[in-house]
């Protein structure tokens, strides 16, 4: 039986995605995401975002989400877009740095903002993430998809 999965795209339409061929089902599902900019894709349950890994395929990336249950959410964000406005800009790097010294608080979807802000994908928000976001804007660092090993 199919289950209800919410897919929230924070890329302001820059990403395209397709749901599994047979629709969302309890358990394991594979789905496709394409975007010209690196994205983070995660399963969100109880306001905890668990980033999904992917494999590169023709035209985009194939993701596997295991253990889905009715009501789960899949989020798609541009890597580095800490304020979730769909564009990676200098203000994103600034917000990450400010959050580390309690001058800025992520509001609303904190787990999703933290996912987007974790530029080096190590699971921890640190000053290097602000640096990497800023470096990516001038071509000194490449933000990446979370490719399976």
Q: What percent of the chain has pLDDT over 70?
A: 100
Looking at residues 42-55, what average pLDDT do you find?
A: 95
Q: How far apart are CA 114 and CA 61, in angstroms?
A: 22
- Residues 6 or more apart from 50 whose CB is under 8 A from it? 42, 43, 44
Residue 33: pLDDT band (50, 70, 90) is very high
Q: Model confidence at 60, in pLDDT bands (50, 70, 90)?
A: very high
pLDDT tens, position by position, 75-105: 999 999 999 999 999 999 999 999 999 999 9
Mean pLDDT of 104-121: 92
Average pLDDT of every residue of the chain: 96
The helix or strand, by DSSP H or E, that contains position 134, with its residue range, turns out to be helix 127-137
For 44, the enclosing helix (H) or strand (E) is strand 39-45
Q: Is the pLDDT of residue 108 over 80?
A: no
Residues 6+ apart with CB under 8 A from 89: 137
Query: Could you tell me the pLDDT band of residue 107, with boundaries at 50, 70 and 90?
Result: confident
Q: What is the mean pLDDT of residues 24-43?
A: 97
Residue 83: per-residue pLDDT: 94
CA–CA gap between residue 85 and residue 12 (Å, rounded): 7
pLDDT at 149 (0 to 100): 73
Burial of 30 (0-12, 13-18, 19+ CB in 10 A): middle
């Amino acid at each position: 039986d199919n289950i209800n999965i919410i897919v929230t795209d924070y890329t302001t339409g820059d990403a395209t995605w397709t749901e599994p061929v047979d629709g969302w089902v309890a358990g394991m599902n594979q789905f496709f995401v394409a975007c010209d900019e690196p994205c983070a894709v995660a399963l969100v349950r109880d306001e905890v975002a668990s980033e999904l890994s992917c494999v590169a395929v023709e035209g985009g990336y194939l993701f596997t989400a295991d253990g889905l249950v009715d009501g789960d959410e899949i989020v798609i964000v541009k890597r580095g877009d800490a304020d979730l406005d769909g564009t990676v800009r200098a203000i994103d790097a600034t917000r990450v740095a400010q959050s580390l010294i309690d001058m800025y608080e992520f509001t609303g979807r904190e787990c999703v903002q933290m996912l987007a802000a974790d530029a080096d994908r190590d699971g921890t928000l640190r000053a290097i993430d602000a640096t990497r976001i800023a470096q990516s804007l001038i071509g000194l660092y490449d933000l990446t998809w979370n490719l399976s090993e």
